[in-house]
Amino acid sequence: MKVVKLQDIIGSDQEVKGENWTSRRLLLEKDGMGYSVHDTIIKAGTETHIWYKNHLEAVYCIEGEGEVETLKDNKIHPISANTLYSLDENDEHLLRAKTDMRMVCVFNPPITGREVHDENGVYPLVKE
């Protein structure tokens, strides 16, 4: 069994910061679970272009308010606390935060923690 405390991730190499977000990576590929789990803060007033071509992602919002726009159909999905959305078709999307948003994100396949969004918002498929 593995127990992970957020307080132990904050300030470590498993806390990764982007311009619009901070991702605290609780479980990674190296943990052998078949998925990764992240506690992510999206900064208020930001818009982030994301397209996980190589990963499926489920996102559960536990704090804040924003929206996701899927680019294939330009449909806008309001997101607030206690809402989950899943990008089950590798959906290219825009994530907009009206307030700071705290999200729990699950990726399949799991990420290693070294991935960086490319110019298209894509994480490459990296293996340890």
91: in domain: yes
70: in domain: yes
CATH of the domain at 10: 2.60.120.10
Confidence of residue 8 (pLDDT cuts 50, 70, 90): very high
Q: How many CB atoms lie within 10 A of CB 28?
A: 20
CA 118 to chain centre: 15
How many domains does one find in the chain?
A: 1
pLDDT at 128: 59
Q: Which helix (H) or strand (E) holds 9?
A: helix 6-9
* pLDDT tens sequence across 21-59: 999 999 999 999 999 999 999 999 999 999 988 889 999
120: in domain: no
123: in domain: no
Q: Which helix (H) or strand (E) holds 41?
A: strand 36-42
> What is the value of pTM for the model shown?
0.89
Q: Domain range holding 10? A: 6-108
